Structure 1
Amino acid sequence: MPEYMPDFAQWSLDTIRDEDGALSWLEEQRFNWATTTSSALLHILEGKTIILITDEKRKWFEKYIISTINNDKIERPILPIVSVYSLYPHYNNINGGEMIDILDNMISLSYKDDYIFWYVGSGDDKRSDIAKRRDSSYFWIFDEDFHNSFKLNSYDSHLDIKLLQLYKLFNSSLNAAMFGEVDVNS
């Protein structure tokens, strides 16, 4: 373990700058990134399960995350991450607060409240509603300011590329946090 562990905001800035300009768009948003992501990383380090939810347009991204975050080439412990759709395949048919309450109760019973939601997608998509009910949720949300969220613009022509870049940074952040290379508490 290094003698000096940088705080997560400084580590993020250094990592962004090491990408030879590919993440230059993120540099001015790094404090928002650091604040929201360090909180999510703390939950993950506590051993909480990640329940991933995306809007319909980002279903491809959900599949990408699920298939790569624990691939056979990782050199870290396997993370408990599941898709909300694997827990309840009829999630798209949920309408209204009562059905969300029923789903939320089932998840709480199954995971004993040791979980966080990670939502990626439009803020006005009904799929975001369940994650918005939980204070510990982690968001990569589009076109909306929300508690504990990293905001992106849905009309950005480079949105998909930015999502993949963010995921790469998130994965690097996760490794650094798990191996004690960065202080996510600061």
Structure 2
Amino acid sequence: MQEFLNWTVDTIREDKLLSPWLEEKKYEWTPLVSKSVVNILEKGCSVIIVTDKQRDWFLEYIFTNINSQGLNRPFLPFYDAKGFYKYLDEVKSEDDINYIKDMLNISFPNGYCFWYIGRSQSVRAIIPKVSKNSFLWLFDEEMQDAFNLRSKDDALDMKLLQMFRLYNKTLSAALFAEINVEN
């Protein structure tokens, strides 16, 4: 079983579709991904994915690929937040947030966590940012325990695709006990 940080660096270097910029961010990347994978595989949490409006295309990409039969692994519990509450763009108050969290607590008795990809200022970011165990890919805000990106980055879409590729490979490697994400 390979150590997670070393596996991440090796994977970035060996995979021709991944760029060196990810290796430069390895110390930001690995603790966040580790926490996400542990939540899914060891704690049994379901993952509710939320994106800002501009990244709806990426949400579709994730769902097309995260449980692809070509991966030859069990399907993992990833869900689209809009499937639970289609009025995400209208969340305004703390009561709204509490009602949604109550619904999710009933729906997911083993727990859930959010995976948010998008601008930090989006109304869709509110619930993931205030929820514990969220996996945050935030744009235009430096926030601890988040992978921080810039929405004005010309290569942003390519970076998102590369990050997803590495994350998906990490899920498979952890699931098949090739790596220990806790070390």
| Alignment match, 2:39 | 43
Amino acid in structure 2 at the alignment position of 1:125: S
Match of 1:19 among 12, 15, 22: 15
SS in 1 for 2:141: coil
User: Which structure 2 residue ranges, 5 or more long, are not aligned?
Assistant: none
SS in 2 for 1:73: helix
SS in 2 for 1:117: strand
Query: Partners in 2 of 1:25 and 1:147 — Cα distance?
Result: 20
| Alignment match, 1:179 | 176
Query: Partners in 2 of 1:15 and 1:22 — Cα distance?
Result: 8
Segment of structure 1 superposing worse, 63-72 or 31-40: 63-72
User: Which structure 1 residue ranges, 5 or more long, are not aligned?
Assistant: none
* Deviations 1:109-161 (CA, angstroms, capped at 9, x unpaired): 21125111000011111111101122211011112222421111111001001
Alpha-carbon distance, 1:66 to partner: 1.3
* 4+ runs deviating over 2 angstroms: 19-22, 145-148
Query: Partners in 2 of 1:180 and 1:155 — Cα distance?
Result: 38
Q: Could you state the TM-score of these two structures normalised by the residue count of structure 1? A: 0.93
Query: Partners in 1 of 2:164 and 2:17 — Cα distance?
Result: 16
Preserved CA contact (<8 Å) 2:17 2:162: no
SS in 1 for 2:180: coil
Amino acid in structure 2 at the alignment position of 1:13: V
Aligned residue pairs total: 182
Say if 1:21 and 1:105 are closer, same or farther in 2 by CA, change over 3 A.
closer
Query: Partners in 1 of 2:74 and 2:17 — Cα distance?
Result: 30
Say if 1:177 and 1:64 are closer, same or farther in 2 by CA, change over 3 A.
same
SS in 2 for 1:53: strand
Alignment of 1:9-158 (within 5 A): 9-20=5-16, 22-46=18-42, 47-112=44-109, 114-158=111-155
Amino acid in structure 1 at the alignment position of 2:132: D
Match of 1:7 among 3, 21, 24: 3
Identity %, equivalent residues: 36
Amino acid in structure 2 at the alignment position of 1:26: L
Query: Partners in 2 of 1:175 and 1:58 — Cα distance?
Result: 24
**Greater percentage in helix:** 2
Q: Could you state the TM-score of these two structures normalised by the residue count of structure 2? A: 0.94
SS in 2 for 1:51: strand
Over the residues paired in the alignment, what is the CA RMSD in angstroms? 1.4
